[in-house]
Amino acid sequence: MASMARIWSFLFVVSIIGSSFATEIESEEAPSKEFVLTLDSSNFHETVGKHDFIVVEFYAPWCGHCKKLAPEYEKAASLLSSNDPPVILAKVDANEEKNKGLASEFDISGFPTIKILRNGGKDIQDYKGPRDAEGIVAFLKKQSGPASREIKSVEDATALVDDKKIVVVGVFPEFSGEKFENFKALAEKLRSDYEFGHTLDAKLLPRGESSAVGPTIRLFKPFDELVVDFEDFDVDASEKFVEEASIPVVTLFNKDPDNHPFVIKFFNSPNAKAMLFVNFSSENVDAFKSKYRDVAEQYKGKGISFLMGDVEASQGAFQYFGLKEDQVPLIVIQTSDGQKYLKPNLGPDQISLWVKEYEEGNVLPYKKSEAVPTVNDEPVKIVVADNFQDMVINSGKNVLLEFYAPWCGHCKKLAPILDEVAASFQNDADVVIAKIDATANDIPSDVFDVKGYPTLYFRSASGNLSQYDGDRTKDDMIEFIQKNRDKTAHQDTGKDEL
Distance, in Å, from the CA atom of 471 to the CA atom of 457, rounded to the nearest integer, reads 14
What DSSP state is assigned to residue 22? S
**CA-based nearest residue to 171, from 201, 209, 148:** 201
- Does residue 333 contact residue 273 with C-beta atoms inside 8 Å? yes
**CA-based nearest residue to 182, from 131, 233, 218:** 233
Element (H, E) at 319: helix 315-321
Where are any strands of DSSP class E within 336-454? 340-343, 380-382, 398-404, 431-437
Distance, in Å, from the CA atom of 305 to the CA atom of 248, rounded to the nearest integer, reads 9
- Does residue 178 contact residue 228 with C-beta atoms inside 8 Å? no
Element (H, E) at 230: strand 227-230
Active site residues: 63, 66, 408, 411
Where are any strands of DSSP class E within 325-469? 330-334, 340-343, 380-382, 398-404, 431-437, 455-459, 465-468
Instruction: Report phi then psi at 431, rounded to 5.
Output: -125, 135
**CA-based nearest residue to 112, from 60, 74, 34, 39:** 60
Find the angle CA(165)-CA(168)-CA(174) to the nearest 5 degrees. 150
| Residues ≥6 apart with Cβ < 8 Å to 309 | 252, 253, 254, 275, 276, 277, 278, 317
Provide the greatest CA pair distance for the chain: 92
